[in-house]
Amino acid sequence: MKPRESAAFIASVSKDVKLNPVGIKRVASEIVQAIVSHEFEPNNMMIHSYPLPVTEDTSSIEWMFVADALNFSFWALEENAHYSVELRGKKYTGYMALCAAITKAQEAGIPITNPKYYANVTKETVNEIFMSNSGEPIPLLEQRWIILQECGKIINDKFEGEFCNCVRQSGNSAQKLLDLIVSNFPSFRDEGVIEGERVSFYKRAQILVADIWSAFKGKGLGSFSDIDTITMFADYRVPQTLVHFGAMEYSEKLNKLLSTNHTFTNGDREEMEIRGCGRIDQGRVKISICGF
């Protein structure tokens, strides 16, 4: 099942997560008020605040591919233990710290966004490039190094050494690009099994498509006639926000697990229910906003 159908299926069989229509309307109302008051500007997309020079050329696409290939697991239980990187006197944390590290490497003359380079990059070099301000390695260093090498080799073998050639093959279709990404790059294949059915999320793959569309402002290589088919993607904070506003509710069992900082394994039923229901909830918030 594709992400949208997967989310609907997960919500229909969910045992520990449920949606609350009243809370959904509350979230929609808050967003509408923020837009009306100009507290939130929908056109000021997050991509344009990334620590990189966003330009409408292929260099941005290669940059975003590396960033989104490594966009996972920055969570820290302790507030002062977040992964952080400083760039041009500004400190970034989490995913933005990863972005800062990539740009910092480029400014130092390291071709970290060139597949020919990172296909053969050493683990030691990856550690140096993404080292935290505290001197600690980036979380899951080994996995990130393996993914970088794997992605680089695939791009060199299948797309003539440039990920932008994969984008060109999509024919300006967001869904075709999504299919190309998940079918060619195993690390982007974000799937699981629930109630005997294989479901998909494709979070990072969809983020990559959306980032390209945003960076190019829907033009040129970022012109996708079906961009509205890309679903919303929940990061760590989105489910927390939905629960805070009462748009999503957890069972007593799940609340107890979360209160003890239980770490779920990728593919655990509870994890998939949170992600799937969170995606459906976001979609319903969008519909509610359109109804105001």
pTM of the model: 0.89
Q: Give the CA angle between residues 20, 290, 9 to the nearest 5°.
A: 45
**Do 20 and 280 contact (CB within 8 A), yes or no?**
no
How far is residue 114's CA from residue 163's CA, in Å, rounded to a whole number? 9
Name the active-site residue from 16, 179, 235, 268.
235
Residue bearing tokens 């002062």: 80
Q: Is 235 a catalytic residue?
A: yes
What's the number of domains the chain is made of?
1
Q: What pLDDT is recorded for position 39?
A: 80
Residues of the chain with pLDDT under 70: 41-50, 52-56, 76-80, 234-235, 281, 287, 289-292
187: nearest Cα among 58, 66, 50: 66
Q: Report the greatest alpha carbon distance in the chain.
A: 53
SS (H, E, C) 101-152: HHHHHHHCCCCCCCHHHHCCCCHHHHHHHCCCCCCCCCCCHHHHHHHHHHHH
Report whether 40 contacts 277 (CB < 8 A): no
pLDDT 10s digits, 223-277: 999 999 998 776 678 898 899 999 999 999 999 999 998 989 889 999 999 999 9
State the amino acid at position 28 in one-letter form. Answer: A
Residue 243 sits at φ, ψ, to 5 deg, of: -70, -40
Residue 252 structural domain: 3-290
Phi, psi at 254, each rounded to 5°: -70, -40
C-alpha distances (whole Å) from 196 to each of 9, 192, 202, 203 are: 12, 10, 19, 21
**166/61 Cα distance (integer angstroms):** 10
Gap between the Cα atoms of 106 and 112, Å rounded: 7
